Structure 1
Amino acid sequence: MADQPSGARSVETAEMAPPLGQYHEVEGRRLYLHSSGSGGPSVVFLAGGGTVGLDYWNVHEQAAQLTTSVVYDRAGTGWSSGVGLPRSSAEVTDELRQLLRTAGIPGPYLLVGHSLGGLYARHYATRFADEVAGLVLLDPAHEDYNAYMPQQLVEQWEAWDPDQAMPEELPDEVVQLYRGLFAEELADWPQQLRDLLIDRHVSPGWLRVGFQEAKNVKELYAEMRDAGPLPDVPLIVLSSMAVDSFKAAVSQGTPESLMREEIDGKRKLYTALAASVPRGEIRLVDGTGHATFHFRRPDAVLQAIEDLLGR
């Protein structure tokens, strides 16, 4: 895919540069990466759709006390160079592999993937099994997700048009709603990082990227199916068990009973995923929903990382 021409998003990025980390050039693009700690296996965080590497700063900083820890932004997201979206999972995983090599991050890697990042982590492990020491997956996107869901929800999702979901100008009440939600989750973060992330997350550019990156999710699922089963690597799947404020905001009009059915279906799916490999495990995590996993339960994420490092 060709890089997007410089424009509003590039200006936004230049005006609000990340407070830590550096850039590495991969195939003519500047990719953002921040690494801390030392030792191996190296922990690499794969952000969910609509999130960026520094959203996982709180867990990353703790993981860096144990080993080398890395957060980064995929091309087209966060502070990395723009690129046409959506992209294939092969493009994303090839890019990550090259970035880690260019940045001198030693393998093997313990991949921590959230949501869409969880699908990319599984695809990476399937394609490059010898480079992966383990997987921690936070509510990972999965090609069989809809098969475990109530039909009413599936019909709602099928009718959803991402091109219509993101107008050119967001109503101020929507912007303020999301600003408040992020401010609540990041309340105890360092002010410079907190304010920067909140401003960027409510900007039209970043919001639009979140929709664009997952527009080809059916094609991503097909790629995952074609890649074959997961190799025999240690796996911990963390399944969130609550309806958080973000879920409630984007699900207005959906009965809470239906959202609880989604959580139950997700638990069954992730139980099957964990059972698909000899060293797989599912952990049910209370007190958080899908979007706020790393904000509300960094302890559960760090414990899973520490347990896999111990193996």
Structure 2
Amino acid sequence: MSLWGSSKNGEPREAEDDSHPRPTSSSREERDSTEEPTERTRLIAQRRPPPAGGYLDPDDPAVSPYNLWSVRAVRFFEVFFLMITFLWWVVLFISIFVSPPGMHSRGSGFFDVSYTTLTVGNIIIALLFFAVPSTPMGVLSFIISILLIVNMIIILVAPRIRLEEGWPGIASVVWAAIIGLYNILANRTVRWGKAEEEARLTGREEQRRTLKEWLAVLLATIFMVIFALIAVLLTATVSLRARDATLPAPGHRYLVDGDKYQVHVACVGNQTYDKKGNANPTVLLEGGYMPVEDSFEDWVYEAYQNGTIERYCYWDRPGLGWSDNAPSPHSASMSADALSEALAIAGEEGPWVLVSAGIGGIYSRVFSARHPRAIAGIMLIDALHEDLLYQIGNPGTGFLLWARGFISPLGLDRLPGALFKGRSREDRVYGKSSYQGGKFIKNKLQENLVADGLTKNEVLSARNIQQPEVPLTVVSSGVHINKDKDWKRRQEDLTKITDNLVEWRIVKKAPAEEVWRTEEGRYELGDALKKLMKAKSK
């Protein structure tokens, strides 16, 4: 037999010699490792064959639930939901400062942000610990979802809360509950996928956890417990709000500003007329820092009882007492317009003797300038001067107000007051605890945002067009004047906003901005009001 063969092109080639066997794969690998690489050199090593039995080691990275498309799809939607929720959170955050069209919440808007913040945190934890599912996460997600569903039911069932929260609040709590339920589904899907892949690739479901996995489970559980506590506090606070909403308002609520929100107006006494048939003046109260009903009305009611005045009306500025929050931004002139509209709807035409305290003096002066023919007198009680509005508009104060509003839905101060201090509905709606509510905080934040800009310009304009013949009485706290000489100068300047000063009365021992808190203060206020009611325009 010939030792020569033919090649493809017909040339003779040497026959293969069995004495020189062909290199094996191992010898080829050894040769490739020693020889210089060429264009034919294998750059990626061949995959190692599985161990005996055809199964992988449980610690092999290839053993992963991400191998399943269903697990990857669940994670994709988790990321998608996070993006949507974060964008919604940004919109709600902005709406606290500037209300987008159709996004105004007649409540504070802080509950919307709280529900959405909880949702964002819930999704982030689910993503961070997505590949380490655990029973505690599933149980806690279920508890959070149930609590959020309870929140949703309370909001929908309580008519007042439903009106205050509006569609943004309802959408936020519904979405939070849906995400909680979705996280339960995600947790179970990953657990199923993990077991499925372990059984397929390693031959059995892995029951052990590494130290890293145990730490991940511990951290996830801690975060979920915190979220569950937040859900408990939200549920308790919204339940307390539903309870407070049953407190009847002494007057009526009127829709204003294109039916965007309601303000509360109440009147005591009947309208009387003089011999010529002209209506006698009605006292119109404007509260200061706190709502009118928080003791400011008491001394006026005493004046009504003893016949000093025949009739008085009062209202709650947006966010105070029984009034809804107004859209942001909200200035003094907008508040005056809301009062004017509410009085017109109520059929109240004046004439008015305006009585106000603290920052309420700013609102009364703007209202007076807008209704020059309807004002029969002005009484300012330790009123804020426009040059001091920068104190209200301090940026640091604004940040603290926002921070207080952000955590207000947790009820960290309202819940202990209700449970351990016997705080009543009256305390929370208009009394000593009303400053803890989200609506109150939103009111102060709105004042802060425009105090040293828009509101100051409005009151300066009001001063320029103020009718000079209107009778004016200024009552000041002696304690405040002795403590702050600049305040004394500003009080003296307030006596010059009209040319018809009836008197400037200083009550020596009266506390700052709350002259009516002392017996002497109530007597002095009643006497000063009596003289003002008798004063005539020049």
TM-score interval, smaller chain: 0.7 to 0.9
C-alpha change, 1:85 and 1:285, in structure 2 (3 Å) is farther
Aligned length: 273
1:279 to 496, 500, 520: 500
Letter in 2 for 1:226: S
C-alpha change, 1:205 and 1:194, in structure 2 (3 Å) is closer
Distance 1:208 1:63 in 2: 33
Other-structure match for 2:262: 30
* Higher relative contact order, chain-length normalized (CA < 8 Å, sep 6+): 1
1:293 to 515, 518, 525: 515
Contact 2:325–2:442 (CA under 8 A) maintained in structure 1: no
C-alpha change, 1:85 and 1:64, in structure 2 (3 Å) is farther
Distance 2:393 2:448 in 1: 14
1:84 to 319, 322, 327: 327
Other-structure match for 2:399: 164
1:239 partnered with 2:476:
yes
CA drift of 1:76 comes to 3.0
Distance 1:103 1:5 in 2: 21
Other-structure match for 2:293: 54
Distance 1:157 1:32 in 2: 24
Cα RMSD after superposing both structures: 3.3
Distance 2:398 2:298 in 1: 33
1:82-106 deviation line (CA, Å, top 9, x unaligned): 2124412221112111212222224
Q: Is the partner of 1:215 in helix, strand or coil?
A: helix
TM-score, with normalisation over the residues of structure 1? Answer: 0.75
Contact 1:41–1:106 (CA under 8 A) maintained in structure 2: no
C-alpha change, 1:240 and 1:175, in structure 2 (3 Å) is farther
**Larger deviation, residues 206-215 vs 300-309:** 206-215
Aligned-residue identity in percent: 22
Q: Is the partner of 1:24 in helix, strand or coil?
A: strand
C-alpha change, 1:80 and 1:20, in structure 2 (3 Å) is same
CA drift of 1:234 comes to 0.5
1:217 partnered with 2:217:
no
Higher helix share: 2
Q: Is the partner of 2:105 in helix, strand or coil?
A: coil
C-alpha change, 1:80 and 1:14, in structure 2 (3 Å) is farther
1:305 partnered with 2:537:
no
Unmatched segments (≥5 aa) in structure 1: 147-153, 184-190, 244-258
C-alpha change, 1:118 and 1:103, in structure 2 (3 Å) is same
**Larger deviation, residues 205-214 vs 20-29:** 205-214
CA drift of 1:208 comes to 4.4
Contact 2:253–2:264 (CA under 8 A) maintained in structure 1: yes
Contact 1:86–1:214 (CA under 8 A) maintained in structure 2: no
Letter in 2 for 1:224: V
CA drift of 1:42 comes to 0.6
Distance 1:195 1:165 in 2: 21
1:41 to 281, 286, 309: 281
Other-structure match for 1:15: 243
C-alpha change, 1:278 and 1:70, in structure 2 (3 Å) is same
1:44-86 deviation line (CA, Å, top 9, x unaligned): 111124x213122302322433221112112233211221244
Other-structure match for 1:140: 383
Distance 2:435 2:248 in 1: 13
TM-score, with normalisation over the residues of structure 2? Answer: 0.45
